[in-house]
């Protein structure tokens, strides 16, 4: 039989109270003047249906079991716990609230225990000449994860906001070029010139696509990135990127004709475009050399891209793949290499680099075949 109290009657008369309790994200327990649990909210009920065996423990992590007199609407035993019982007892004796008492919620799973850090508040209150204690429990780990993600998102939007003028400027360049080639097309009847202008316009469109894809990749999480995977000829992919960048004279390729990788062509195109573009811009006065080598193993590919440029500044090496790192370029958006890292991670690959000032930079990429 469930305990019928004045508080319970009030809940029955005013469902709004129940609705308010059930809408709260915390787990809420209400104890009567004898220390018996009389009410829990929906959060507790749902949690206990999913996790049958739980014990609370103090900040030291010590787990103590004891029977707690529990009677709620469904008459089922709820928890065996000394931690909460002692807190309720403390509040009833002192008549003082407890705030932010730290502890752990231990969930017993098959062959292991999952330990969740919690914050507990307990407040005494009086209703219709009866004393009660309301206990609220909040999952601190989830809050911390939310706050960390919120900080990351705020940084992301901050960098995007700060980069708006640069983004607009960079987008205007290929758009201006497209408009110019369109006018030239109208003015010529030469087949050769038209083909040249079409080629230049295609390059401009590809540049726009790459820039917009950088932004989209940053906005999406790794788990949200949709990959359209096919088998890609690696040498053809690099040749396409090199041609678009017009850096054939700078690049030495060491790639077998029949090496393939299973991945998203457009996104991997974006990866190599960003790295090769940075390599080109790192070369002093456009002079130097870029090498691309692909080594095939049983289940993976190792891709090595090196240049003889000025190297990566020491102060940004640790944050090179972080949103906002720009190699110190005045017109950089800081999206390119952050996007590269996300794409490689989404392909279950790895990327790292080595760089020496005025000697050059080498990127090492591992991709599953």
Among candidate residues 111, 176, 100, the one with its CA nearest the CA of residue 137: 100
Q: State yes or no: pLDDT of 160 exceeds 60.
A: no
Length of the chain in residues, anyone?
A: 369
- Note whether 139 and 18 are within 8 A (CB): no
At residue 175, the pLDDT reads 80
- Taking the alpha carbons at both ends of the chain, their separation in whole angstroms is 63
> Which is nearest to 95 in space by CA: 69, 63, 131, 130?
131
Q: What is the pLDDT of residue 157?
A: 63
pLDDT of residue 73: 39
Residue whose tokens read 């002192």: 94
Q: 218, 163 in Cβ contact below 8 A?
A: no
3-state secondary structure of 356: strand
Residue 333 in domain: yes
Say if residue 234 is in the same domain as residue 353. yes
Of 94, 118, 140, the position where a domain reaches its end is 140
List, for residues 200-217, the tens digit of each pLDDT value.
Answer: 888 778 778 767 776 666
C-alpha to C-alpha distances, 31 to 28, 34, 39, 94, nearest whole angstrom: 10, 8, 7, 15
Q: Is residue 81 part of a domain?
A: yes
The CATH number for 77's domain is 3.30.450.20
pLDDT by residue (tens digit) across 77-123? 344 456 777 788 889 889 999 998 888 777 776 677 777 788 889 99
Residue 55 reports pLDDT greater than 70: no
Same domain flag for 228 and 364:
yes
Tokens of 145: 């994860």
Global pTM value: 0.51
The pLDDT of residue 353: 95
Asked if the structure places residue 211 within a domain, the reply is no
- Cβ burial of 352 (10 Å; 0-12, 13-18, 19+) is exposed
- 10 Å CB burial of residue 211 (0-12, 13-18, 19+) is buried
Q: Give the separation between CA 135 and CA 88, rounded to whole angstroms.
A: 8
Is residue 177 in some structural domain? no
122, 252: one domain: no
My answer on whether 131 and 234 are in the same domain is no
- Please indicate, yes or no, whether residues 102 and 234 belong to a single structural domain of this protein: no
CA separation for the pair 80, 302 (Å, rounded): 55
Whether residue 153 lies inside any domain: the answer is no
Phi, psi of 232 (to 5 degrees): -115, 130
Domain boundary among 113, 140, 167: 140
At which residue do the structure tokens 């469930």 appear? Answer: 2
pLDDT above 70 for 218: no
Q: 359: pLDDT confidence band, cut at 50, 70 and 90?
A: very high
Residues 130, 266 share a domain: no
Kindly state the DSSP code that residue 337 receives in the 8-state scheme: H
Residue with tokens 């390729």: 253
Query: Which residue segment(s) compose the domain that 128 sits in?
Result: 6-140
Out of 140, 167, 199, a domain closes at 140
pLDDT tens digit sequence for 268-312: 988 998 899 889 989 988 889 999 999 999 899 999 999 999 999
For residue 282, give the CATH number of its domain.
Answer: 3.30.565.10
What b/e string do you get for 241-275 counting C-beta neighbours within 10 Å, with b at 16 or more?
Answer: bbebbebeebbeeebeeebbbebbbebbbbbbbbb
CB 293 within 8 A of CB 358: no
**Cβ(118)–Cβ(105) under 8 Å?**
yes
Residue 332 lies in a domain: yes
CA distance 261 to 265: 9
Classify residue 110: in a domain, yes or no. Answer: yes
State whether 125 and 230 are in the same domain.
no
| 156 contact partners, CB below 8 Å, separation of at least 6 | 218, 219, 323
Q: Which residue has the tokens 């909210």?
A: 41
Q: Does 327 lie in the same domain as 225? A: yes
Report how far residue 353's alpha carbon sits from residue 369's, in angstroms, rounded to the nearest whole number: 21
- Packing angle of the helix pair 140-162, 191-219 (nearest 10 deg): 150
Tokens 């205007």 — which residue? Answer: 172
Structure tokens at 38: 């009389």
Q: Do 133 and 268 share a structural domain?
A: no
Residues whose CB is less than 8 angstroms from the CB of residue 136 and which lie 6 or more positions away in sequence, other chains included = 24, 26, 27, 28, 29, 120, 121, 122
Number of domains in the chain: 2
More confident residue, 26 or 149: 26
Q: Is 182 inside any structural domain? A: no
């Amino acid at each position: 039989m469930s305990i019928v109290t004045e508080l319970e009657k009030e809940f029955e008369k005013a469902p709004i109270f129940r609705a308010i309790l059930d809408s709260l994200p915390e787990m809420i327990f209400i104890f009567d003047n004898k220390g018996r649990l009389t009410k829990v909210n929906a959060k507790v009920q749902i949690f206990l249906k999913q996790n049958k065996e739980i014990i609370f423990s103090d900040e030291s992590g010590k787990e103590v079991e004891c029977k707690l007199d529990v009677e709620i609407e469904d008459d089922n035993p709820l928890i065996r716990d000394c931690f909460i019982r002692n807190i309720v007892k403390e509040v009833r004796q002192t008549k003082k609230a407890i705030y932010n008492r730290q502890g752990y919620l231990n969930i017993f799973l098959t062959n292991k225990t999952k330990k969740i850090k919690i914050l507990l508040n307990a407040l005494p209150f009086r209703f219709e000449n009866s004393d009660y204690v309301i206990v609220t429990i909040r999952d601190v780990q989830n809050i911390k994860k939310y706050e960390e993600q919120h900080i990351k998102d705020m940084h992301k939007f901050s960098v995007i906001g700060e980069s708006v003028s640069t983004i607009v400027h960079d987008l205007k360049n290929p758009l201006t070029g497209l408009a110019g080639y369109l006018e030239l097309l109208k003015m010529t009847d030469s087949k050769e010139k038209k083909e040249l202008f079409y080629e230049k316009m295609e390059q401009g469109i590809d540049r726009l696509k790459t820039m917009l894809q950088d932004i989209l990749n940053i906005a999406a999480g790794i788990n949200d990135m949709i990959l359209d995977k096919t088998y890609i000829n690696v040498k053809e992919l690099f040749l396409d990127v090199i041609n678009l960048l017009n850096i054939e004279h700078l690049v030495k390729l060491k790639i077998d004709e029949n090496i393939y990788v299973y991945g998203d062509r457009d996104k991997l195109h974006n990866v190599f475009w960003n790295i090769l573009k940075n390599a080109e811009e790192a070369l002093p006065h456009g002079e130097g050399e870029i090498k691309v080598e692909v080594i095939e193993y049983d289940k993976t590919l190792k891709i090595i891209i090196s240049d003889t440029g000025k190297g990566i500044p020491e102060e940004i090496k640790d944050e090179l793949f972080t949103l906002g790192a720009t190699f110190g370029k005045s017109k950089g958006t800081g999206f390119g290499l952050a996007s590269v890292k996300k794409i490689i991670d989404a392909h279950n690959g790895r990327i790292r680099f080595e760089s020496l000032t005025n000697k050059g930079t080498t990127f090492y990429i591992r991709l599953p075949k």
